[in-house]
Amino acid sequence: MIEWLWPWVFWALPLPLLVRFLFPQSERVEAALTVPNLGGFSSVTTANSGEPARSLWKIILLSLAWTFLVTAAARPQLIGDPMSLPASGRDLMLAVDISGSMGTEDMQVQGDFVDRLSVVKAVIAKFVEARNGDRIGLVLFGTNAYLQAPLTFDLKSVNRLLIEAPVGIAGGKTAIGDAIGLAVKRLRKRPNEEKVLILLTDGANNVGEVEPKVAAELAARDGIKIYTVGVGADEMRMPGIFGTLGGRVTNPSADLDEDTLEGIADVTGGKYFRARDPQALIQIYAIIDELEPVEQESEVYRPVQALFFWPLGLCLALITLLLTVELILGRETSRV
């Protein structure tokens, strides 16, 4: 089906006629020329005999060119058949801590220690890829919380925005309450019954305008379920003077506030998970991945294809043809 984006442009079709009637060309009065013999002007008379036909074709070509130009300006569009988009009924926000402590290298992968954020990015990327039919949004937080991606079906963009986020770009502290508040603000406008927030952090709320428990109560009031994930190893051997053998053992997750994370999950009907290593983190997201979707009507999408370039191309072709013919006839007349 063809639709016109600007159909009112067709009112400009009679514009050339209005201009001709409102501003008529004044006829020039020339002095009569008397000659004793017209034989010498026979060739000129023959050359001018085709002028009425040429003028008629010129008017026709210009009229067609103007019609095609107005048609292109009306912006014709080809509306395709309706297509159903997959929709599971779940709106899922990811809130990921990217504060400076997420750069701690206490996650062991194939014998090497890797920073926490790199492991989190790899695990969440696979989790997001499997969420076909869900709208997913992304909040990154440190000292401040930022909406990195609104709720969208474009899972590749969400993954790319997460992977490109460096450690500490949002500040060195941890604003858990602000991150929850920002996610709740985006989720509360959605009509779906199943609204989920997955919050991952390795620290405690030490900055921000909203307390985590207050933000969790707001989420519970709007029917938003929060799953919290505390990431970080329990033990880490610091290298000493004689290498790792002489180093001391420390707890890199000493700042993790598990009580607050458990409280946030309990208030909203979610669950708290503890990820001490990459394998535990993978299992946690596998459990969350098993959440049953809520059925809802699928969204309908109709592809739109612009067609204005076809009449515009015909207009340019007619004008080019008219100029070419005029140039050729002009040369023949000059020769005569």
| pLDDT per residue as tens digits for the range 245-275 | 555 677 777 888 999 999 999 999 999 999 8
Residue 298 lies in a domain: no
- Beta strand pairing status for 2-4 and 76-79? antiparallel
Question: Which is more confident, 197 or 17?
Answer: 197
pLDDT average, residue stretch 95-108:
89
Token pair 């954020």 is found at 117
CA distance linking residue 71 with residue 308, whole number of Å: 7
pLDDT over threshold 90, residue 39: no
Q: Are residues 10 and 135 in the same domain?
A: no
Contact 240, 288 (CB under 8 A): no
| Of the listed ranges 8-12, 56-60, 73-77, 100-104, the one predicted with least confidence | 56-60
Summarize pLDDT for 273-294 with one digit per residue, the tens. 998 888 988 988 888 877 645 4
| Residue-averaged pLDDT of the chain | 81
Alpha-carbon torsion angle 309, 314, 316, 322, nearest 10: 180
Q: Are residues 310 and 206 in the same domain?
A: no
Q: Are residues 169 and 258 in the same domain?
A: yes
Q: Are residues 139 and 282 in the same domain?
A: yes
Q: Are residues 13 and 160 in the same domain?
A: no
CA distance linking residue 91 with residue 82, whole number of Å: 23
Residue 321 lies in a domain: yes
pLDDT of residue 252: 74
Q: Are residues 198 and 169 in the same domain?
A: yes
Summarize pLDDT for 171-207 with one digit per residue, the tens. 889 999 999 999 999 988 776 667 899 999 998 999 9
Residue 65 lies in a domain: yes
pLDDT of residue 226: 94
Q: Are residues 207 and 328 in the same domain?
A: no
Q: Are residues 148 and 281 in the same domain?
A: yes
CB burial of 24-61 (b: ≥16 within 10 Å; e: otherwise) equals: eeeeeeeeeeeeeeeeeeeeeeeeeeeeeeeeeeeeee
The CA-atom distances, in angstroms, between 3 and each of 75, 172, 306 are 8, 53, 10
**How many domains would you assign to the chain?**
2
**What is the reported pTM?**
0.61
Residue 34 lies in a domain: no
For 317, the domain range is: 2-23+40-80+303-335
- Beta strand pairing status for 107-109 and 112-114? antiparallel
Residue 35 lies in a domain: no
pLDDT of residue 62: 87
Give the amino acid at 325. Answer: V
Closest CA to 117 of 104, 139, 102: 102
Q: Are residues 155 and 270 in the same domain?
A: yes
Closest CA to 212 of 257, 180, 253: 180
